[in-house]
């Protein structure tokens, strides 16, 4: 079966730049029976990637689960630091809730029922956007509340030793990546970009970041913002943030993002007596949901529960 064709819509960043959303509206949705929204951000360490990286289960969800799937591009680091990326997330959420989005989707989606989601670094973005963690520290107003969060194998805390320990080479690569290979992408003064194709030369950037343990500097250098301000579990433990219903899933042998990142967030949410479902998959690695056989049924059951009337 051919993949469904998305509706491509443009939203503007706070700086007036154009970024694109891919929108998949269920054929069954009508003005009187609107579909909830599942807004997803791609992974790549906030350094690489594209909205086109949706998984097979995302593409089948409009028909199978009556969900409007929205996949959003955002500007990439280090040309845009984390505050700008968080601002892009809020701008995307605001646009999806706007009259312009309603018009473009034929008034067949219900923006009052929104689950924010993401994979890997995108999972971190949805945790930050869904709880508001990090926004004040970045000088931003947090997004409006959402119906739920669905974080897949998320990054969540730069304090984890994984992000601070060099690997020469990284555990899953047979060689050390030379500085020259990432020179066009690591310069913060280079032109800002809002996506990178999976087969582009930038696709090695994440692995170089892990190799050199420089994620914090790539995201926060020059901002004056401490890494602790965007650590999800530590922030939640302060009791200053409201946690919507949350689903988190992670494989326990993940060698791209340690499973401790998800465990810590789930534990912090449980301490707050929040509505959290945590699913840990034994013997499963990163990007497991790219498998066409992975239907993510527990996640979609969660989404149905938190968006039901």
Average pLDDT of the segment spanning 219-237: 98
157 located within any domain? yes
Q: Is-cis flag, bond preceding 196, omega within 30?
A: no
Count of domains observed in the chain: 1
Task: Give the global pTM.
Answer: 0.98
Return the pLDDT at 3: 75
Average pLDDT, the chain: 97
CATH number, domain containing residue 17? 3.40.50.1820
Cβ(154)–Cβ(247) below 8 Å: no
pLDDT tens for each residue of 3-21? 789 999 999 998 899 999 9
62 located within any domain? yes
171 located within any domain? no
- pLDDT band with cut points at 50, 70 and 90 for residue 304: very high
Closest CA to 285 of 258, 247, 303, 246: 258
190 located within any domain? no
Phi (first) and psi of residue 8, to 5 degrees = -95, 120
Residue 264, exposed/middle/buried by CB under 10 A (0-12, 13-18, 19+)? buried
Q: Residue 1: is its pLDDT beyond 70?
A: no
Q: How many Cα atoms sit within 13 Å of 198 on the Cβ side?
A: 6
116 located within any domain? yes
267 located within any domain? yes
Cβ(169)–Cβ(139) below 8 Å: no
Average pLDDT of the segment spanning 51-67: 98
Q: Which domain holds residue 110?
A: 7-164+195-307
pLDDT tens for each residue of 163-200? 999 999 999 999 999 999 999 999 999 999 999 999 99
- Both tokens assigned to 21: 């959303």
Average pLDDT of the segment spanning 32-60: 98
Return the pLDDT at 309: 67
183 located within any domain? no
Distance between CA atoms of 65 and 113, rounded to whole angstroms?
14
pLDDT tens for each residue of 110-151? 999 999 999 999 999 999 999 999 999 999 999 999 999 999
What DSSP string runs through 158-206?
Answer: TTSGGGTS--SS-TT-SSPPPHHHHHHHH-TTSPP-S---TTSGGGGHH
């Amino acid at each position: 079966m051919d993949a469904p064709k998305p509706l491509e819509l443009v939203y503007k960043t706070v700086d007036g730049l154009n970024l694109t959303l891919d929108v998949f509206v269920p054929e069954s949705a009508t003005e009187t029976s609107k579909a909830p929204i599942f807004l997803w951000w791609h992974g790549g360490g906030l350094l690489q990637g594209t909205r086109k990286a949706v998984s097979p289960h995302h593409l089948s969800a409009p028909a199978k689960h009556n969900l409007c799937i929205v996949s959003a591009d955002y500007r990439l680091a280090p040309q845009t630091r984390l505050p700008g990326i968080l601002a892009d997330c809020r701008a995307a959420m605001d646009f999806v809730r706007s009259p312009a989005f309603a018009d473009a989707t034929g008034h067949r989606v219900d923006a009052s029922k929104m689950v924010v989601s993401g994979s890997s670094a995108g999972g971190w973005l949805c945790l930050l956007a869904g709880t508001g963690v990090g926004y004040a520290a970045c000088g931003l107003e947090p997004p409006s509340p959402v119906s739920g969060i669905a974080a897949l194998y998320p990054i969540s805390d730069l304090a984890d030793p994984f992000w601070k320990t060099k690997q020469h080479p990284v555990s899953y690569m047979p060689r050390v990546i030379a500085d020259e290979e990432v020179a066009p992408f690591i310069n913060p003064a280079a032109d800002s970009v809002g996506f990178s194709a999976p087969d582009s030369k930038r696709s090695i950037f994440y692995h170089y970041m892990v190799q050199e343990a420089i994620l914090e500097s790539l995201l926060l250098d020059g901002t004056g913002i401490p890494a602790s301000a965007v650590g999800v579990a530590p922030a939640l433990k302060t009791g200053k943030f409201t946690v919507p219903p949350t689903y988190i899933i992670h494989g326990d042998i993940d060698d791209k993002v340690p499973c401790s990142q998800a465990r810590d967030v789930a534990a912090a949410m449980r301490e707050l007596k929040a509505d959290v479902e945590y699913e840990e998959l034994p013997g499963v690695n990163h990007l497991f949901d790219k498998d066409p056989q992975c239907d993510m049924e527990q996640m979609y059951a969660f989404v149905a529960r938190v968006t039901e009337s």
